[in-house]
Amino acid sequence: MTSTDPDCLFCKIVAGDIPADIVRESEHTIAFRDINAQAPTHVLVIPKRHEPDIGSLAAADPDAALALLHEARAIADTEGNGTYRLVFNTGADANQTVFHCHGHVLAGRSMGWPPG
């Protein structure tokens, strides 16, 4: 059973109530371009169900969490050479601003380490 939050921005994108540049869709996920891209490829992969972060998604719906990982790789394979960074900002101190699980797929440029 799918859970949604009527006040959640990304649930509204899943529902089609807010437009997004959707690049992929699967049974459990959608992927769309970040509105404030930080790399030539910057796609957000999200579960259709509302869960606040990747840990809670993995606990509640392992199939959806696994699907999210597969989709992230597929985006990197489609848009680049398979080199990518997959980031889950988790919690306010880690700069999570939207509390609907999302993986940032970043690709298309060299990246530094450690992250800021």
Nearer to Zn ion, 5 or 79 (CB): 5
The reply on whether position 5 binds Zn ion by CB under 5 A is yes
Residue 36 interacts with ligand 5GP (CB under 6 A)? yes
How close are the terminal C-alpha atoms of the chain, in Å?
Answer: 37
Does 20 participate in binding ligand 5GP (rule CB under 6 A)? yes
- Match 């440029």 to its residue by tokens: 109
Task: Judge whether 104 counts as a catalytic residue.
Answer: no
34 binds, among Zn ion, ligand 5GP, none (CB under 5 to 8 A by kind): ligand 5GP
Structure tokens at 84: 């990518």
Judged by CB under 6 A, does residue 56 bind ligand 5GP?
A: no
Active site residues: 102
Give the binding site for ligand 5GP (CB under 6 A): 9, 20, 32-36, 44, 89, 95-98
